[in-house]
């Protein structure tokens, strides 16, 4: 059986108000546009998640909300506070509790970049993969019957995109 992960870093957030706590920062205009574009890109390739695990930060929730318009069959996001600024081991631990065959996980750097790199057998041929910029989205398949069986270094990359490549 195959398990599919859609791993997305939140879109570009706003720094307009320096008094806004990091957890509460919203997306900026570019971030909202990028989230909508990412949703359309995912839909155009048939990458609709059956389960969505999302950090409870404002910018991750807004990222999924922006993608959702293009993914009408996607479920509501399950907010996971543990995903906020989580490292690779925590991200994997949360993923191992997923239930659906196709899961979207939305989180933050620097943890998500390291998580993505450690999950796969070979990095995609994209110079931006290592830095995993805002909106970066990796689609990776695992040969596993259950998410509990997924290990680092076992994922096969299907796709990788950053918003500027969609908008170009």
Q: pLDDT tens-digit profile of 11-67?
A: 999 999 989 999 999 999 999 999 999 999 999 999 999 999 999 999 999 999 999
Q: Residue written as tokens 């939140």?
A: 10
Q: In angstroms, rounded to a whole number, what is the distance separating the alpha carbons of residues 31 and 8?
A: 13
Give CA–CA dist 40/30, Å, rounded. Answer: 15
Average pLDDT over residues 85-100: 98
CA–CA distance from 118 to each of 18, 89, 130 (Å)?
Answer: 33, 10, 11
For residue 12 the two structure tokens come to 């570009």
What is the DSSP code string of 87-131? -HHHHHHHHTT--SSEEEEEE-TTHHHHHHHHHBSS--S-TTTTT
Q: Is 11 helix (H, G, I), strand (E, B) or coil?
A: coil
Domains and CATH numbers, the chain: 23-99 (3.40.50.1240)
pLDDT at 66: 97
Q: pLDDT value at position 167?
A: 73
CA–CA dist 66, 83 (Å, integer): 19
**Residue 150 vs residues 25, 106, 120, 130, 165: alpha-carbon distances, Å:** 32, 18, 11, 21, 29
**pLDDT for residue 132:** 97
**Above pLDDT 90, what percent of the chain?**
96
For tokens 């920062």, the residue is 25
**113, pLDDT greater than 60:** yes
Q: Phi and psi (nearest 5°) for 27? A: -75, 150
Extract the tokens encoding 7: 């791993």
Give the pTM: 0.97
Q: How far apart are CA 18 and CA 21, in angstroms?
A: 8
């Amino acid at each position: 059986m195959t398990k599919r992960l859609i791993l997305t870093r939140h879109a570009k957030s706003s720094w307009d108000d320096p008094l806004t706590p990091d957890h509460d920062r919203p997306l900026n205009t570019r971030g909202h546009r990028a989230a909508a574009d990412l949703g359309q890109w995912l839909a155009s390739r048939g990458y609709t998640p059956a389960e969505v695990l999302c950090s409870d930060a404002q910018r991750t929730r807004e990222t999924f909300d922006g993608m959702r318009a293009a993914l009408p069959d996607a479920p509501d996001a399950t907010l996971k506070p543990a995903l906020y600024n989580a490292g690779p081991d925590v991200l994997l631990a949360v993923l191992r509790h997923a239930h659906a065959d196709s899961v979207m996980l939305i989180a933050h750097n620097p943890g998500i970049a390291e998580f993505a790199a450690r999950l796969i057998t070979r990095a995609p041929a994209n110079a931006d993969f290592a830095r995993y910029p805002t909106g970066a989205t990796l689609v990776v398949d695992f040969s596993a019957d259950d998410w509990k069986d997924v290990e680092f270094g076992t994922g096969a990359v299907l796709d990788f995109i950053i918003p500027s490549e969609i908008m170009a």
